[in-house]
Amino acid sequence: MSDALLKRLGLLRERVSALVEARRAGDPSEGDPLRGLYVSAERVEHLLAGCERIPVELDDAYGGAGADDALGEVAVRFGLTPLDIHILLTALAPDVDRDFEPLYGYLNDDVGRRRASVALALDLAGLAPQDWAARARFHPGAPLTAFGLLTLEDAERPLPGRGLRVPERVIAHLLGDTGLDGQLLGAVELLTTGQSVGPFASRLGALLAARPSTVYLRGRGAQSGTAVAALRAAGLPVLRYDPAFGERHLVPVLLREARLRGAGVVVGPLPEKAEEAGALVRALESGGLPRHSGLPASGDVPVVLFGTEPFDPRWSADGDVLCLDVPPEAVDTRLLWAAQLGREAEEFDLPAAVAPYRLAPEQIRRAARSARTLAVLEGGPLTAAHVQWGARQQSAPALDRHARRVTPAVGWADLVLPAGPREQLEELVVRARQRERVLGEWGLRTGGGRGHGVVALFAGESGTGKTLAAEVVAGELGVDLYVVELSAVVDKYVGETEKNLERIFADADRTDAVLLFDEADAVFGKRSEVKDAGDRYANLESAYLLQRLESFDGIAVLTTNLRANIDDAFTRRLDLVVDFPFPDLDQRLALWRQSLAGVPCADGVDPGPCARDFALAGGSIRGAVVTAAYAAAGRGGRVTSDDLLTGAVREYRKAGRLVVGENDL
């Protein structure tokens, strides 16, 4: 307990003692051992005669507001009057000094009521319960009760007889406890450390320091970090509240905690449902206070909201919310990663490893912890793979509802391609890693609401490695591959296909992954001349896709066997078009050998004749090897040349091709 609070309680004790002496004078029941348990006739006469009140001057009582201790700071932050300070101190005294309990029991004339009542608090201030101005300090709209600093018990009693209690969190704060309110645990995080501050966050911090406001930040990934950085730039500790982990009834407790600490509040991401987002914003504006109370709900606490959806003015009852779009460069996440991983990240290229990820600062902290834990589990040093694994755990899993997730298990060594297509794939990886710098920091994103997405088309015959290449790109970037299932997209009802696609694109914008549209010509086909209603709606679908690709912020790969079927307007919006040629003899031989790398083969097995005699693509070659492996496993032996030949013939037949002399096989 601070010396200042001890001094205040000492002054209160003097008043309590003086009032006890005044009550004892002439009290006929003074020596009665049952005093406080019943009311005698003499006691009634004494009460009817009344007693003089002790005049008290409260203007400078207990040091007043602004004194150099926690209670003085609370008085300033909550706008308390000298009488409010006296009432608060009177109510909390028994919680910090048990000597007040018997004294309060005596003054209440009830040994069972050992807490201060409204009448007792006013008596100690030299005021009468019939003083309307004094009674107003206990009104639901007065600072003490409205802000949750004081609760009135015994609702069935008249106001003068109601007991006063100070919430334990308020008492703990006044005693120097720096912990969070227990009701906020799990939903609110206290942030007191510094963070990299960009120009945007610095300007916003200066605004919030000069004029506490409610601000809404819209963007992708950087809003939370920008909000925290701005409040830290304003010199404030930060209470970050996640609505997903806490109910709306916590808002008054959150704002009380912010005022107790002199902190700013970050809230987000706002719920996706408009009615829930609006209810949360209005709750923050009201702070649980009665309407028209005249007290500032959150107006004296800087509140920064963030989300990905546009702010609806109808969400705000006051209409005094500043809405801002967060520039991508507002927070340098590379510095945050480096700060979290320290020297452990010096052994690998950290910027390249984390470039595809657009995580908020708190997600980066959790990802770094997960990466370290995995490294300890594996018993080795921290690597880029550990960091990317940790980052993937933080990426939103919403796409799982619409697409099939593939965790990449292949690399460049598994891809057999000519130099040209391979170089284009490497360029695609570079684009995905550097898009925020080139399109954001360097300002090369054109207007029209275009996003920071990277979209590529892989064109080639079936089995030439398009899907495998998409998995290799995802693996090189350290993200998951999501294959869009057309059955979850295409709908026979008009407009439903577009809605399904919008859900996929919206989730992909929030997920760090590679989105794969296999057989893309099914949904990205050419527009045609309108001859009937079906053509009209098909063209509307294509027009929607054209617009959506413009604003896409993720990484998408489209594959097609028939490039000519893709609308030219889509081609113009693609960053890269990679043609996958049919493999020549050398490439086929490399594919055969690669497929056989882990298969037990008999001595002298040579895939050369199969590569020479059967013009198969990579997917068909793998199918032939699988057929040969099953044949060998069935007889309990190793793969032979005859097994490979049988598998190759099987794949040729599947493709509808004629095999010369196949009856002899």
Q: What's the pLDDT tens digit per position in 415-428?
A: 999 999 999 999 99
Domain positions in the chain: 3-174, 182-330, 333-394, 412-580, 585-664
Tell whether the model's pLDDT for residue 46 goes beyond 50. Answer: no
Q: What is the mean pLDDT of residues 437-443?
A: 77
What b/e sequence results for 25-40 when a residue is b if at least 16 CB atoms lie within 10 Å of its CB, and e otherwise? eebebeeeeebbeeee
pLDDT per residue as tens digits for the range 248-292:
788 999 999 999 999 999 998 898 888 999 999 988 888 766 655
Alpha helices (H) in 464-532, listed in sequence order: 466-477, 496-509
pLDDT of residue 369: 92
CATH number of 585-664: 1.10.8.60
- What residues have CB less than 8 Å from 372, skipping those under 6 apart? 344, 382, 386
Backbone angles phi, psi at 74, to 5 degrees: -60, -40
**Residue whose pair of structure tokens reads 């605004």 in the numeric block:** 207
**8 Å CB contact between 599 and 558:** no
d(CA 72, CA 82) in angstroms, rounded, equals 10
Structure-model confidence comparison of residues 295 and 502, the more confident one? 502
**8 Å CB contact between 93 and 107:** no
Structure tokens at 498: 């577009």
CATH number of 182-330: 3.40.50.300
**Residue 255 identity:** L
**8 Å CB contact between 389 and 371:** yes
**Residue whose pair of structure tokens reads 């809003």 in the numeric block:** 223
**8 Å CB contact between 618 and 642:** no
Between the CA atoms of 123, 129, 135 and 140, what dihedral angle is there, to the nearest 10 degrees?
A: 100
**Residue whose pair of structure tokens reads 């290449």 in the numeric block:** 469
pLDDT per residue as tens digits for the range 336-393:
888 888 888 888 888 888 888 888 777 888 899 999 999 999 998 999 999 999 988 8
Tell whether the model's pLDDT for residue 401 goes beyond 80. Answer: no
Out of 61-75, 88-102, 636-650, pick the least confident.
Answer: 61-75
Q: In percent, how much of the chain has pLDDT > 90?
A: 39
CATH entry, 333-394, from 1.10.8, 1.20.1740, 1.10.1220, 1.20.1070: 1.10.8
Reduced to 3 states (helix: H, G, I; strand: E, B; else coil), residue 298 is: coil
pLDDT of residue 197: 62
Backbone angles phi, psi at 186, to 5 degrees: 95, -25
Residue 577: count of CB within 10 angstroms of its CB: 14
**8 Å CB contact between 610 and 645:** yes
The verdict on whether omega for the bond into residue 269 sits within 30 degrees of 0, i.e. cis, is: yes
Structure tokens at 16: 């309590």
Check if 333-394 and 585-664 are the same fold: yes
- What residues have CB less than 8 Å from 664, skipping those under 6 apart? none
Structure tokens at 523: 């949904």
Tell whether the model's pLDDT for residue 445 goes beyond 80. Answer: no
What homologous superfamily does CATH list for 412-580?
A: P-loop containing nucleotide triphosphate hydrolases (3.40.50.300)
**8 Å CB contact between 192 and 262:** no
Tell me how far CA of residue 620 lies from CA of 329, 464, 536, 624, in angstroms: 46, 9, 39, 6
Out of 189-193, 556-560, 650-654, pick the least confident.
Answer: 189-193
pTM value surpassing 0.75 = no
